[in-house]
Amino acid sequence: MQVLKLGVNIDHVATLREARYRGQKYGEPCPVEAALTCEAAGAHGITAHLREDRRHIQDADVRALRRQISTRLNFEMAIAPEIVRFALKIKPDIVCLVPEKRQEITTEGGLEVAKQLTAIKRVCSRMSKASIAVSLFINPDVTQIEAAAKTGAQFIELHTGSYAEHYSNARLRKRELNRLIVAATHAHSLGLRVNAGHGLDYNNLSTLHVVPYLEELNIGHSIISRSTQIGLTKAVKEMLGLMKGYRS
């Protein structure tokens, strides 16, 4: 049985810090300390998104994460040249290429791989030469999956936002689950490894177990929100408990 891994996204810890200490070289809460707590609680990896506008995670946070965490650093990033150069210098274990819009609150929708194939292939090639694995954050869409298979990326991360949004409606939930099942199956058939994330929480996660070939779930907001009530260690362990029993 394959263990379904948990990557904890710590962006929202940094969001809270930046709300009070924006522009300062100090502040609380510390996303790196949060990452170490998540690891100690059993998380299999840490995810952080260095946005071009630096609205939450800062360059220094990523450098500190690279030095201090002992699991896996999943570095979410746009394909902007500045961020690509930073990633090549930091050398995370894996980068996850995501779309990025300045006006959005959080990442909305998946990467348009088919429309940016040449640029994404170039980034994948540069990461490969630096021995950095690549994941592409995409919608559960056959066109995007087939384009992803042409880029040289090893992983895709299926965008589960639509599934999460429609979870309370049985008919729409079934539709979105079917999309994810088809997408994961097709990606696997093309040799892509499959992760998933966005909008997953303590209520909708267990139903996702019907989606095959999943290796890792990246979850942030729900865990950080839950931690304000029961603490970060318990929040991570609760999520890990919900992930037990997954069979690919």
Average pLDDT rounded to a whole number, residues 6-31: 95
Strand partners, 75: 48, 95
Average pLDDT rounded to a whole number, residues 212-232: 98
Q: Is the pLDDT of residue 102 over 90?
A: no
Q: What is the pLDDT of residue 164?
A: 97
Tell me the CA distances in angstroms from 9 to 38, 76, 166, 222, 231, one per residue in order: 10, 10, 22, 10, 16
Q: Is the pLDDT of residue 10 over 80?
A: yes
What is the tens place of the pLDDT at every residue in 50-68? 999 999 999 999 999 999 9
Superfamily, domain 5-241: Aldolase class I (3.20.20.70)
Give backbone dihedrals phi and psi of 46, rounded to 5 degrees, phi first.
-125, 135
Q: Which residues are catalytic?
A: 49, 76, 198
Q: Is the pLDDT of residue 79 over 80?
A: yes
Q: What is the pLDDT of residue 100?
A: 76
Q: Where are the domains of the chain?
A: 5-241
What is the tens place of the pLDDT at every residue in 103-151? 545 556 789 999 999 999 999 999 999 999 999 999 999 999 999 999 9
Nearest-angstrom CA–CA distance, 66 and 43: 16
In this structure, of 21-30, 65-74, 93-102, the range with the lowest mean pLDDT score is 93-102
Q: Is the pLDDT of residue 15 over 90?
A: yes
**pTM of the complete model:** 0.94
Q: What is the pLDDT of residue 101?
A: 61
Q: What is the pLDDT of residue 1?
A: 60
Average pLDDT rounded to a whole number, residues 37-62: 97
